[in-house]
């Protein structure tokens, strides 16, 4: 009974934090503190405390970093949601995270999204990416402050992104498999 009430409270807090996902209005963290909080939240996943991990990553997604976008928590939000069986939310957060990775690597430009939104549906066939529904990604990644950050990504940034793509592909496969299982008669 108490465990059910605690889980209900955690899910409610999670919903409230998700509603504020665009906001990066939390405190500034230095990179060491940020990495430590990422590690601490990951430890919750390792301990199979997924609801707590989800809240920790959602809270971490609101902090600001100096001259760099804070988007890495969205992968772990998706991962936590997957483990909690929230497959629709996990899929959407993973979709946003993939967009964020593309922007961070320079593979997708923020200007493309603006041009896409201004284009007519008939002209959208010329774009190689469907940008619809990626408002969170572009709101998070396309602040003018970050534009120079994407111009020449460092080797370390590209390696970090490459590692995330491996993890993203694995998580996407797990989500797709679970969705397929649920759709079986």
Q: What is residue 21's three-state secondary structure?
A: coil
pLDDT in tens, 141-182: 888 788 778 878 889 989 999 999 999 999 999 999 999 999
Q: Is the pLDDT of residue 139 over 50?
A: yes
Residue 109 pLDDT level (bands cut at 50, 70, 90): confident
Provide mean pLDDT across the span 29-37. Answer: 95
Look up residue 23 and give its two tokens. Answer: 């906001």
Q: Exposed (0-12), middle (13-18) or buried (19+): which is 70, by Cβ within 10 Å?
A: buried
Between 77-86, 95-104, 110-119, 149-158, the lowest mean confidence (pLDDT) is in 110-119
Domain boundaries, the chain: 26-183
The count of C-alpha atoms lying within 13 angstroms of the C-alpha of 170, restricted to the half-sphere facing its C-beta, is: 9
What's the chain's average pLDDT? 81
Residue 52 has pLDDT above 90, yes or no: yes
Closest by CA position to 13, among listed 56, 44, 45: 56
Residues 6+ apart with CB under 8 A from 149: 67, 68, 69
Q: At what angle do helices 155-183 and 73-83 cross, to 10 degrees?
A: 20
Residue 179, classed as helix, strand or coil, is helix
Query: Helices (DSSP H) in 61-125: which residue ranges?
Result: 73-83, 87-105, 110-118
Q: What is the pTM of this model?
A: 0.79
Give the Cα-Cα-Cα angle 64, 69, 70 (nearest 5 degrees).
Answer: 60
Residue 12 has pLDDT above 90, yes or no: no
In sequence order, what E strands does the chain have?
none
70-84 mean pLDDT: 97
């Amino acid at each position: 009974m108490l465990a059910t009430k605690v889980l209900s409270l955690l899910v409610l807090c999670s919903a409230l934090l998700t509603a504020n996902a665009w906001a990066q209005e939390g405190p500034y963290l230095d990179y060491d503190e940020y990495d430590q909080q990422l590690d601490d939240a990951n430890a919750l996943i390792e301990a199979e405390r997924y609801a707590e991990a989800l809240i920790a990553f959602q809270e971490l997604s609101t902090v600001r970093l100096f001259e760099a976008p804070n988007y890495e928590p969205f992968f772990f939000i998706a991962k936590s949601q997957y483990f909690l069986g929230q497959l629709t939310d996990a899929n959407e957060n993973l979709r946003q995270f993939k967009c964020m990775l593309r922007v961070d690597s320079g593979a997708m430009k923020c200007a493309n999204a603006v041009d896409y939104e201004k284009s007519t549906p008939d002209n959208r066939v010329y774009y190689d990416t469907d940008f619809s529904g990626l408002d969170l990604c572009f709101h998070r990644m396309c602040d003018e402050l970050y534009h120079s950050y994407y111009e020449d990504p460092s080797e370390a940034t590209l390696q970090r992104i490459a590692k995330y793509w491996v993890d993203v592909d694995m998580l996407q496969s797990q989500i797709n498999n679970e969705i397929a299982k649920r759709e079986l008669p």
